[in-house]
Structure 1
Amino acid sequence: MSQLLEVSGVSVTFDGFKAINNLSFSIGDAELRAIIGPNGAGKTTFMDIVTGKTRPDEGSVLWGEMSQSLLKMNESQIARAGVGRKFQRPTVFEDQTVYANLAMALKKSRSPWSVLASRPSEADRVRIEELAAEIGLADALRRKSGELSHGQKQWLEIGMLLAQEPRLLLVDEPAAGMTLAEREHTTDLLKEAAKTRAVVVVEHDMEFVRRLDCRVTVLHEGSVLAEGSLDHVTKNQDVIDVYLGR
């Protein structure tokens, strides 16, 4: 598997607190990875660095076959290069339909306002319907997004990210606030997405991580504490001491 993202020796300090401490690890081209760890372990800061929101004090973040430095790009350039991020709280246009939300997200160089004013092409319509089916909202295309359940809004936001055709999808605690059935569908959705791109999931719900059935990276105090299958890392005494034993 070729490497898509290579984080090497990255550190960042906020007001004397080392949020990321010599962090090094890599993500493959079409890989599903879970990142777990206690609060303050550096999970969100790692995503902030990869998406350009936070600049590290040292280290490198290399991207793609050409090993481009993400640290030389701004947030919008990183997004255009193929890094998509989903925050914990779903952010969709609630007064617009599911169809309109997906149409606005399609990978095209145009403003949201021009999208609302224009009519999608036949190819756009086909793609929107494909995305809706993929995220489980085929029957909700004409519904306003504000009417959807919490889980459905999460799926819509994932669909909006997939519409931008990212090569790496960073997903923050997708299982939070979901019903069991919604969590199961979300697992299927992320596993399917990881067949054609890299998907990194930050999550606290161990049962959700187990269902993802993927490689797990455990962060602690801003660096990698353990890595491997969930069974492997949950038997690691250091992981038990700093995270699971709490």
Structure 2
Amino acid sequence: MNEALLEVRDISVSFDGFKAINALSFSIAEGELRAIIGPNGAGKTTFMDIVTGKTKPDAGEVIWGEKNVSLLKRQESQIARLGVGRKFQKPTVFEEQTVYENLLMALDNDRSPFAVLFYRHNENDNQRIAALAEEIGLQDHLEKRSGDLSHGQKQWLEIGMLLAQEPRLLLVDEPAAGMTLEERQKTVDLLRRAAQTRAVVVVEHDMDFVRNLDCRVTVLHEGSVLAEGSLDHVTENQDVIGVYLGR
């Protein structure tokens, strides 16, 4: 296992007296594919909110990278620039723009006002977009209006837009929701490919989808880690069966 890219240490946060995260600790390695499962209210979304800077915890620490940077001292935009990308459950693409234009806007180029004002895309950008489109399976849809894509294709486009920013960690929230069986399998393949060059954390309810990811699984319950290991290992855990699988 590679060294930790992200470490969550004894994180706790409460909302109106409800403890959404309770002394949560675990780590994600560089280049790791990890699935996070758990019942509603287990703290999965709050965990991602804390890592991306949307929510500040009451206690604990979030450490990033080999330089041990504290993410809790960074704003959302700064965390994104450090290399943390997040995909929400509902796809958010620019529907009036083509697939090509969406990917072009997402490329990891200079974002300063002067650079943006005088930016002109070049052959290198075209090559990067072509490679991204092939990675997400949309190479035949580059000139298609994004609003005309299927739900699954929009999900892939948004993942491609995040990959265009070259994140070191990609957080993906319930990518299988609303997809056909064929789209789910293509999404599994896409996420597994993405994890070859970066860490990918997938929050998901669909157990067949998680099984196909074939990765380490973390089970959350009441804001803490209940079990961790392979899917077979955690689904045989009696505590997991009692609070999640056996509902």
TM-score norm. by structure 1 comes to 0.97
What is the distance in 1 between the residues matched to 2:155 and 2:116? 22
What is the distance in 2 between the residues matched to 1:34 and 1:111? 35
**Aligned pairs for 1:61-210 within 5 A:** 61-110=62-111, 118-210=119-211
- Partners of 1:104 and 1:115 within 8 A in 2: no
What is the distance in 2 between the residues matched to 1:241 and 1:38? 11
Q: Quick check: 1:21 aligned with 2:22?
A: yes
For 1:23, the aligned partner's letter is L
Moved over 6 A (4+): 114-117
What is the distance in 2 between the residues matched to 1:215 and 1:111? 39
Secondary structure of the 1:23 match is strand
What is the distance in 1 between the residues matched to 2:33 and 2:111? 31
- Partners of 1:104 and 1:116 within 8 A in 2: no
What is the distance in 2 between the residues matched to 1:88 and 1:155? 12
Count of paired positions: 246
What is the distance in 2 between the residues matched to 1:165 and 1:75? 16
Give the match for residue 217 of structure 2.
Answer: 216
How far residue 117 of structure 1 moved from its aligned partner, in angstroms, is 8.2
- Partners of 1:218 and 1:224 within 8 A in 2: yes
What is the distance in 1 between the residues matched to 2:171 and 2:112? 23
Q: Deviations over 1:88-142 (max 9, x none)?
A: 0000000000000000000012379x86985411100000000000000000000
What is the distance in 2 between the residues matched to 1:98 and 1:193? 19
For 1:129, the aligned partner's letter is A
What is the distance in 1 between the residues matched to 2:145 and 2:166? 24
Secondary structure of the 1:60 match is strand
What is the distance in 1 between the residues matched to 2:146 and 2:117? 15
What is the distance in 2 between the residues matched to 1:29 and 1:9? 21
What is the distance in 2 between the residues matched to 1:134 and 1:44? 27
What is the distance in 2 between the residues matched to 1:156 and 1:107? 16
Q: Deviations over 1:67-87 (max 9, x none)?
A: 100000000000000000000
- Partners of 1:37 and 1:204 within 8 A in 2: yes
TM-score norm. by structure 2 comes to 0.97
Alignment gaps of 5+ in structure 2: none
For 1:99, the aligned partner's letter is Y
What is the distance in 2 between the residues matched to 1:120 and 1:141? 15
The structure-2 alpha-carbon separation of the partners of 1:6 and 1:118, relative to structure 1 and needing over 3 Å to count, comes to same
What RMSD, in angstroms, separates the aligned Cα atoms of the two structures?
1.5
Secondary structure of the 1:204 match is coil
For 1:216, the aligned partner's letter is V
